[in-house]
Amino acid sequence: MTEPAGVVDLRDQERLDRAVRLALDAERSGNLPVAAVIALGDKIVAEAANAVLVPVFNPGRHAEIRALAAVPESLWPRAAELTCYTTLEPCVMCFGALIAHGVGRVVFGASDPMSGGTAIIGQLPEYAAAKARAIAWVGPALPDICDALRDRAFERSQAARRQRRESAASR
């Protein structure tokens, strides 16, 4: 359900590059290397990085969710004109949030074969599937860089999950 891989234009490349820089900052701070940038026309209106692990574990602090929350309220009537650029194909939670908010276009750097949301479009109820199909899903648009970020995010997520389990078992 996604368009062919590849960045559509220089503006897409610049915004994905910004998301990569934010993802690397998140990784340096101890979080997963995932980030999102939301733009309207020529202007970046919101951006955020993953903050699931630091400062404290919070499974809802995904980059896309945080970026959506940072979009100024005055811009929501123009949601269909927004583009979300993210280093990783949105997970099912973020995919649902992007659909619910009516974002018009999503450009992702790397596919997420474990939990990427675009694979479920055909299994959604028709009203939700129609909304999902109305979004232009573009990606993977930057796999040379973002695949490595995805792999490190998966590794760090698994390590953090093991650590939480071990910590809970020792209590």
126 catalytic per annotation: no
Torsion over CA: 51, 147, 81, 41 (sign): positive
Strand ordering across the sheet containing 136-138: 43-49, 35-40, 82-88, 105-110, 136-138
Other Cβ atoms within 10 Å of 113 Cβ, number: 10
Q: Which of 43, 48, 135 is nearest to 98 (CA)?
A: 135
Q: Are strands 35-40 and 43-49 parallel, antiparallel or unpaired?
A: antiparallel
Are 64 and 171 in contact by the 8 Å Cβ rule? The answer is: no
Q: Is 69 exposed, middle or buried (0-12, 13-18, 19+ CB in 10 A)?
A: exposed
Q: Is the peptide bond before 4 cis (omega within 30 degrees of 0)?
A: no
Q: Which of 3, 64, 126, 155 is catalytic?
A: 64
Catalytic residues: 64
